[in-house]
Structure 1
């Protein structure tokens, strides 16, 4: 009886193995088209020359668009051959968007003879022929092509931008003369480079490098005996100032 049962089990196992061996292998599931990665689409999105939906630096924390601002600043002139001192100024401006704006500028100078002028007086007994800047005001257009975020010692993020200002206005100056200074004014042109660092929504530190040009009349300091003419003609004078100030954004 035991032998008969063992024989039946062997036959059933053999039959099942044979059926398994003859069954065709299952075909692998074909890759669905929807699972394929479209590399071309990614290239068109992120490597295109211009993509209106993508910017290099997005999500600005401090915006300038449609906002007024007021800056108070002070600094020094550093290209005047005969004068030194301080220059104080103020700016009132408005930005239409993050790139373009305009501002009104006013500067007041407090200058006196520098060491070179004093040495000239000691050596020659006279003051050199020159003019001294008194004040200026300009209407300027502003373009801001640079905006960036910068890490400070891995502790904080600094937000800053850099721009250009181009303006036209008026320059007031005085001609130094022995018998008394003579005040004059002339049309002036301005080219400035500035950078501002924001540290809150309403306040920023601003640094300006300001160049102005004006066509100024030149006279000799002394009326030389025997010479009636003291007019030296006119000269295009460049005044450059480095100024630092605080800006309030409304």
Structure 2
């Protein structure tokens, strides 16, 4: 091979090597400043208090729909584990299932409602939560929504309108308190470093005595609230 031919081969090889890099560089220039890199866990909870004013409504109850309001205060030991206490108080209304139908349907009387459970007055609880999932969802071209998902479980003190063992016209039962517990799932949608929308679905279990078909009662609640995070411990990088 002559010197001229050898030099030609070297030039062609060099051009072949540089061409893809040039193309990649041009493609990168096109998307520069348009696609922003998404960082790791932007919104962190470890070492922070979380205060959540919230509202709660019962689901699929046969006799009473409960409307409760209150607050939850928790502390995040890490990004995964937290401990919280909560209190809820409210009112209730009868559902369509309380209509008595013999020949014509009519609302159940107060004496008849005194025979059925489910009229919860207030709840006090403590719970442990485990949050293994943190994610980001791109809803707009340059905007990512940050969220986390968690499971929870705890103990409750449940106050409810007591149930009469038999029909006693004119007798009004008092309130009773029972120790219970709850299990549930939840999630947060972070709106800022100090604020998040919080949603939960939990099942409360408690005992009501002298019922004809077992004492254990379960009540499903849906909760929604706005959380505020307050740092109480220094964390590196925060």
TM-score, normalization: structure 2? Answer: 0.70
Q: Please say if residues 41 and 134 of structure 2, whose CA atoms lie closer than 8 Å, have aligned partners that are also in contact.
A: no
State the match for 1:130 in structure 2.
116
State the match for 2:189 in structure 1.
197
TM-score, normalization: structure 1? Answer: 0.67
State the match for 1:159 in structure 2.
146
Deviations 1:160-180 (CA, angstroms, capped at 9, x unpaired): 000011101211111255411
Confirm or deny that 1:173 pairs with 2:173: no
User: CA 1:92–1:149 in 2, change beyond 3 Å: closer, same or farther?
Assistant: same
User: CA 1:68–1:123 in 2, change beyond 3 Å: closer, same or farther?
Assistant: closer
- 208, 218, 228: which one pairs with 1:238? 218
Q: Where do residues 1-250 of structure 1 align in structure 2 (5 Å cutoff)? A: 59-119=40-100, 122=106, 127-128=112-113, 129-131=115-117, 132-176=119-163, 178=169, 179-218=171-210, 232=212, 235-250=215-230
Find runs of 4+ consecutive structure 1 residues off by over 4 angstroms: 123-126
Query: What CA distance in whole angstroms lies between the structure 2 residues aligned with 1:119 and 1:244?
Result: 34
Q: Displacement, 1:123? A: 7.6
Q: Displacement, 1:115? A: 1.5
Query: What CA distance in whole angstroms lies between the structure 1 residues aligned with 2:201 and 2:107?
Result: 34
Q: Displacement, 1:59? A: 2.6
Query: What CA distance in whole angstroms lies between the structure 2 residues aligned with 1:133 and 1:165?
Result: 21
Q: Please say if residues 47 and 77 of structure 2, whose CA atoms lie closer than 8 Å, have aligned partners that are also in contact.
A: yes
Query: What CA distance in whole angstroms lies between the structure 2 residues aligned with 1:192 and 1:206?
Result: 13
The runs of 5 or more residues in structure 2 that have no matched partner are 3-37, 231-238
State the match for 1:23 in structure 2.
none
User: CA 1:67–1:124 in 2, change beyond 3 Å: closer, same or farther?
Assistant: closer
The runs of 5 or more residues in structure 1 that have no matched partner are 1-19, 21-56, 220-231
User: CA 1:207–1:107 in 2, change beyond 3 Å: closer, same or farther?
Assistant: same
Query: What CA distance in whole angstroms lies between the structure 2 residues aligned with 1:89 and 1:209?
Result: 16
Q: Please say if residues 70 and 87 of structure 2, whose CA atoms lie closer than 8 Å, have aligned partners that are also in contact.
A: yes
Q: Higher relative contact order at CA 8 Å, sep ≥6: structure 1 or structure 2?
A: 2
| Superposed CA RMSD | 2.4
Q: Please say if residues 77 and 240 of structure 1, whose CA atoms lie closer than 8 Å, have aligned partners that are also in contact.
A: yes
